[in-house]
Amino acid sequence: MGSSFLKLAFDVATVLLFRGFGAISGFLLGVTVTHVVSVDQAACFFVAFSLMNVFGRIVCHGTPVALVRIVGSDFQNSWEVINQDLSAALRLTIRNSFWLAIALWLGSKIIAVHLFSKPELASTVAISGIPIFFWAICQVLGSAIQGKHEPKLASLIQNLFAPLLFVCLAPLFYLATELKTGSELVVLFSFCLMLTCFLGFFVWLRDKRAKIFVSATISDKTKVSLAPLFHLTLMDLVVRWSGYVVCSAMLSLTDVALFSAAQRTSMLISFVLIGVNLFIAPKFARAFAEKDYRGLNVLSLRASYLMILFSLPMLFAVLFFPTYIMAMFGPEYSQGAILLQIMAIGQFVNVLTGSVGCLLTMTGHESEYRQAIVSTVPIAFIGAILLTYFFGATGCATATAISVASQNLFANAMAVKSLGFNNLNIFRTIRQ
């Protein structure tokens, strides 16, 4: 591996340092929320935040993954296609976000009562379309920037700037206006996301080749891949968020707050996976486009080494000091320590399987990845209902960990079948 591995390690480390700030800022966002409002109001904010993460991906209709692949494989040449597809992706996302915001506003009481069984969530659900609108645009722009092999800037737009700005502004607004409700925090976070959108457009358009066409349509080649990518997104969301939805519907707001804090903290284990994918995804796309299958294997193996190396310290901290970590959200959150430990194990399995999801989608095997996710959906949904019913929040956390681990193990099996190498085998030998 030699010097090329050391160079990759250095490049990835710089991205992870940047992505690490994003993960920490996301963690601090949760800590900030729990310290400026009550547990129940923090739960209201976390519900809106979760709706943003779920519906924000849906309204993008699979375009972020498509843009990483398109820009990553051709950003030196085909700018006419890139500009057309990005512009069309923005149009599609903005249109979907607008109508979703209207639907959430009009149906907020129905959603709060019949989905979450908590009428007090109505006001928060009603305005959750605002952060969804801006967050989705940030994801589309960030993906295009990622495709240009600019992972640090992509991370800035997608998951760093808005949380960091929120962490700075929330205490100031709390002191000046005495923030009391989760809805007020949602409005403040929406403002931070809006500023991030402006930053994203500035970063993209500073390249003289980049343009935005108001009346653009998606190219035929990209349109073909959007349907499977959209279905893949829907199934992935069911797997990853079914536990949270079941928790919100079946348990108290206090349990929802504990589960949310533990889930967000456990994701610090896999931030390294997201960070490596930011750097490695366009390289996968380029290697596959050039039919460099050995290079694809080498990249995947080296990425796995780095992910395991960088994630182990956080895993040990979470497993051995969960009470202290959860207490950072407030004394009452320390009882969620066991939830954190359970979900952290699921996230570490995610890391052990490496970049299998990214690998499959960047090499045109969306259908195989979708098959892996579809296989996990019954486990995720039925498991969440049954385990939550019998064991409460602990059962819900267990179901979430099993779902995340199962999805990635199934995806790894599909990668072995489609690409011929096992990502779990970090000791494999790659032939010349």
Question: pLDDT tens across 159-201, in order?
Answer: 889 999 999 999 888 888 777 788 999 999 999 999 999 999 9
Higher pLDDT residue, 71 or 324? 324
C-alpha–C-alpha distance, residues 229 and 226, integer Å? 5
Instruction: List Cα–Cα distances, 116 to 123, 386, 403, in angstroms.
Output: 13, 17, 21
In percent, the amount of the chain with pLDDT more than 90 equals: 42
What average pLDDT does range 86-92 have in this prediction? 93
Rg (CA), the chain: 21
374-405 residue pLDDT tens: 889 899 989 999 999 999 999 999 999 999 99
Q: How does the average pLDDT of the chain come out, rounded?
A: 87
What average pLDDT does range 286-304 have in this prediction? 85
Q: Band of the pLDDT at 264, cuts 50, 70, 90?
A: confident
In percent, the amount of the chain with pLDDT more than 70 equals: 93
C-alpha–C-alpha distance, residues 155 and 24, integer Å? 13
Q: What is the pLDDT of residue 217?
A: 82
What average pLDDT does range 243-261 have in this prediction? 92
Collapsed DSSP state (helix, strand, coil) of residue 355 = coil
The DSSP symbol for 430 reads P
Q: What phi and psi values does residue 330 have, to the nearest 5 degrees?
A: 140, 155
pLDDT at 18 > cutoff 70: no
Instruction: List Cα–Cα distances, 227 to 15, 363, 370, in angstroms.
Output: 31, 16, 11
Long-range contacts (CB closer than 8 Å, 24 or more residues apart) made by 63-66: 63/89, 63/92, 63/93, 63/140, 63/143, 63/226, 63/229, 64/89, 64/139, 64/140, 64/142, 64/143, 65/143, 65/229, 65/233, 65/361, 66/222, 66/225, 66/226, 66/229
What average pLDDT does range 317-323 have in this prediction? 94
What is the largest distance, in Å, between two alpha-carbon atoms of the chain? Answer: 65
Helix (H) / strand (E) element for 341: namely: helix 337-352
Q: What is the pLDDT of residue 1?
A: 45
